[in-house]
């Protein structure tokens, strides 16, 4: 994995996730990995990558912003993830790259 850390945020409801992701992307030099996903039972999640300090700052800012308009179920940072994590996180991104363009 080229990035040094992975950050995950999970909320109940899409609107507060969008608010949280917006805050994450504006607060630190991180990249959104793939689309935001609906897990089920109104749970939605998003994943960001970057260096450890940036991901930590982004997750803190995103969780605080999302909590102002909804429920944050979990927010977590994984520093120096194992290479096997890359295959799990980038599946949607790889699928999007393989999809034919119109």
Give the pLDDT confidence of 51-97 residue by residue, as tens digits: 999 999 999 999 999 999 999 999 999 999 988 887 777 655 444 44
pTM value is: 0.81
Higher-confidence residue: 36 or 102?
Answer: 36
3-state secondary structure of 5: strand
b vs e for 51-75, b when ≥16 Cβ sit within 10 Å of the residue's Cβ?
Answer: ebebbbbbbbbbbebbeeebebeeb
Q: Which CATH number applies to 5-98?
A: 3.30.70.1710
CA–chain centroid gap for 67, Å, is 15
Domain boundaries, the chain: 5-98
Environment class of residue 20 by beta-carbon count within 10 Å: exposed (0-12), middle (13-18) or buried (19+)? buried
């Amino acid at each position: 994995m080229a990035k040094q850390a992975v950050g995950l945020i999970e909320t109940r409801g899409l609107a507060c996730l969008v608010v949280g992701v917006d805050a994450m992307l504006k607060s630190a030099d991180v990249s959104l990995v793939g689309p935001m996903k609906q897990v089920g039972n109104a749970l939605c999640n998003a994943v960001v990558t970057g260096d450890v300090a940036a991901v930590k700052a982004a997750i803190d800012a995103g969780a605080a912003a999302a909590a102002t308009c909804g429920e944050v179920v979990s927010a977590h940072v994984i520093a120096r993830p194992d290479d096997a994590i890359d295959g799990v996180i980038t599946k949607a991104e790889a699928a999007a790259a393989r999809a034919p363009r119109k």
